[in-house]
């Protein structure tokens, strides 16, 4: 597989030390990882939609699409976000909340 642009719904700003959040669109942050072979570049973004009363999934998916993300990891996805991710052909991977970002990347858990 070539270059991967991965987004992980995360709890905070700890980068590799962070954990998968309880929800996709309500996650406090999004940890983006560009993976090219053994090289990994991380970027942590505050989730601009986390506090919205509705429409969070749509806003987050559009942001990730614009960033060129092709795989998203979260503990759960709502139906609206799931439909949009499918529409944009962004792969969804469900992992247990609390899974370390470092483990997601090191153990290739996003390839499930």
pLDDT at residue number 112 = 60
The pTM score is 0.94
Structural domain count of the chain? 1
pLDDT at residue number 2 = 67
CA within 13 Å, CB half, 5: 11
- Print pLDDT tens along the chain (112 aa): 568 999 999 999 999 999 999 999 999 999 999 998 889 999 999 999 999 999 999 999 999 999 999 999 999 999 999 999 999 999 999 999 999 999 999 998 888 6
Integer Cα distance of 29 and 42 in angstroms: 13
pLDDT at residue number 38 = 85
Domain limits for position 75:
4-111
Tokens of 101: 């970002």
pLDDT at residue number 37 = 83
State the CATH number of the domain containing residue 79: 3.30.420.130
Give burial (CB, 10 Å; 0-12/13-18/19+) of 6: buried
pLDDT at residue number 16 = 94
- Of 50, 44, 49, the closest CA to residue 67 belongs to 44
Integer Cα distance of 23 and 14 in angstroms: 17
Tokens of 46: 């505050």
CB burial string 38-75: b at 16+ within 10 A, e below: eeeebebbebebbeeeeebbbbbbebbbeeebbbbbbb
């Amino acid at each position: 597989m070539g270059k991967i642009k991965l987004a992980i719904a995360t709890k905070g700003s700890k980068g590799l030390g962070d954990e998968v959040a309880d929800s996709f669109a309500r996650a406090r942050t999004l940890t983006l990882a560009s993976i090219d072979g053994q090289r990994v570049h991380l970027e942590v973004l505050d989730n601009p939609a986390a506090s919205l009363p509705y429409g969070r999934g749509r806003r987050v998916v559009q942001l990730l699409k614009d960033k060129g993300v092709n795989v998203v990891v979260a503990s759960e996805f709502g139906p609206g976000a799931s439909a949009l991710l499918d529409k944009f052909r962004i792969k969804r991977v469900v992992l247990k909340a609390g899974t370390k970002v470092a483990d997601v990347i090191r153990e290739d858990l996003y390839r499930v």
